[in-house]
Amino acid sequence: MSSGNLEHFPVMLDKILSIITPQHGGTFIDCTFGAGGYTKAILNFPNTKVIALDRDRSVNLHAHFLTQKYNKRLKFYNSKFSQIDKISEGNKSINAIILDLGFSMFQMKNLSRGFSFNSKGPLDMRMGFNDFGANKVINKLDQKEIELILKYFGEEKYNKRIAFQIINLRKKKEIDTQDLVKIINKVKKKKTYGRINEATKSFQALRIFVNNEISELIFGLINATKKLKIGSMLVVVTFHSLEDKIVKYYFKTYSEKNKNPSRYIPESVKEDKRLFHCPQKKPLIASKKEIFLNPPSRSAKLRYVIRNSNKFIFPKDLINKFQSYLDIESIGLKL
């Protein structure tokens, strides 16, 4: 994430290091490498190794540089983190898996990629391994579909008005980034105040949809859990309420025994869904000092769990709970 000068800050780094304790050595997986902030901090401790993933090809060169710098204690994969179960680390036991769900400020400040409100060209927002960009979403999908995307993924209460204006304008021209910003500003008429841009929720919604971020998160959590051994940690940093809702539900549901199991089912066959021990039920948040240095960290929430000894059971409840969001993501199959 970033301060006003777009310098890179790994969010809540001190808190994460205190949780995963790399000073004792071990192997860690950084699922969202980005600028390598967490990875470098871990590798600064001796006897540590990092397996890093990132779907963005633009980080490959930086990852190669760090691989050489740290004497090949870093292994990097250009891959989505939902595919973590396909990553081979030999016989290494993983100490912790880290997911930072914020997008890099290096993506934001590259105006050609369409993440920023200041981008002058076409909408894009692709993080890597995408079938389509935001340009197709805005210019090809129908009004109802755009409404659903803005409502569910951005929690944008003006979704219908914004979608209506998009459909009207695209009858005359193909909509680019600045066209969309103007539409949103016109509809919302400065109804939000402070440091939050009027277009934040709509841009968030499009980014989530384009990059399948809900299915990425859900299956990333599931496949990361498959790789954890007894005592290994899963650490997740979220930046908006929908992400946090998913992580909170998963950690809570699979850190507690089934509620009200039938008394007629023998104890020997009752299914124990617990996968984790959850040391901290409330999320950790950034300190006032960190928020001052890095304003985007104000929205970050850090949650973590520790894998227990129970056999892995596929968490069907997690899929069922958020199936409506997965169904909306499937609209992208039309594009």
What pLDDT is attached to residue 107?
A: 52
Separation of alpha carbons 253 and 230, rounded Å:
18
More confident residue, 318 or 294: 318
What pLDDT is attached to residue 153?
A: 97
Mean pLDDT of 247-274: 70
For residue 229, the enclosing domain spans 13-106+213-310
Are residues 75 and 195 part of one domain? Answer: no
> Residue 242: pLDDT above 90?
yes
Q: Which of 181, 210, 239 is the C-terminal boundary of a domain?
A: 210
Separation of alpha carbons 300 and 223, rounded Å:
23
Q: Which of 178, 210, 242 is the C-terminal boundary of a domain?
A: 210
Q: Which of 155, 182, 210 is the C-terminal boundary of a domain?
A: 210
Shortest CA distance to 254 belongs to which of 326, 332, 165, 314?
A: 314
Q: What is the C-alpha end-to-end distance of the chain, expressed in Å? A: 30
Position 202: which residue type?
S
User: Residue 335 falls within a domain, yes or no?
Assistant: no
Token digits of residue 196: 């939050």
Separation of alpha carbons 107 and 330, rounded Å:
25
More confident residue, 105 or 306: 306
Lowest mean pLDDT among 100-114, 184-198, 224-238: 100-114
CATH code assigned at 184: 1.10.150.170
What pLDDT is attached to residue 271?
A: 64
Q: Identify whether the C-beta of residue 304 lies closer than 8 Å to the C-beta of residue 19.
A: yes
For the stretch 7-40, pLDDT in tens is 567 999 999 999 999 999 999 999 999 989 999 9
What pLDDT is attached to residue 133?
A: 94
The residue count of the chain comes to 335
User: pLDDT category, 138, cuts 50, 70, 90?
Assistant: very high
User: Residue 1 falls within a domain, yes or no?
Assistant: no
The model's pTM = 0.90
Position 324: which residue type?
S
Angle, in degrees to the nearest 10, between helices 143-154 and 200-210: 100
Token digits of residue 207: 């980014």
> Residue 190: pLDDT above 80?
no
> Residue 230: pLDDT above 70?
yes
Output the DSSP codes for 20-46: H-GGG-EEEEES--TT-HHHHHHHTST
User: pLDDT category, 2, cuts 50, 70, 90?
Assistant: very low
Mean pLDDT of 141-157: 97
What pLDDT is attached to residue 104?
A: 59
Lowest mean pLDDT among 47-51, 131-135, 213-217, 292-296: 292-296
Average pLDDT, the chain: 88
What pLDDT is attached to residue 191?
A: 60
What pLDDT is attached to residue 1?
A: 35
- Edge-first strand order for the sheet with 301-307 is 74-78, 48-54, 26-30, 94-100, 233-238, 301-307, 276-277
CATH code assigned at 63: 3.40.50.150
Are residues 62 and 197 part of one domain? Answer: no
Rounded to the nearest angstrom, the gap between the alpha carbon of residue 60 and the centroid of all alpha carbons in its chain is 19
DSSP, collapsed to helix, strand or coil, labels residue 220 as helix
User: pLDDT category, 42, cuts 50, 70, 90?
Assistant: very high
DSSP, collapsed to helix, strand or coil, labels residue 2 as strand
Position 325: which residue type?
Y
Distances in whole angstroms, Cα of residue 273 to Cα of each of 91, 148, 253, 256, 311: 27, 33, 8, 8, 9
> Residue 6: pLDDT above 60?
no
- Measure the CA dihedral 191/195/196/198, to 10°: 50
Mean pLDDT of 45-67: 93
Lowest mean pLDDT among 80-84, 119-123, 257-261: 257-261
User: Residue 86 falls within a domain, yes or no?
Assistant: yes
User: pLDDT category, 118, cuts 50, 70, 90?
Assistant: confident
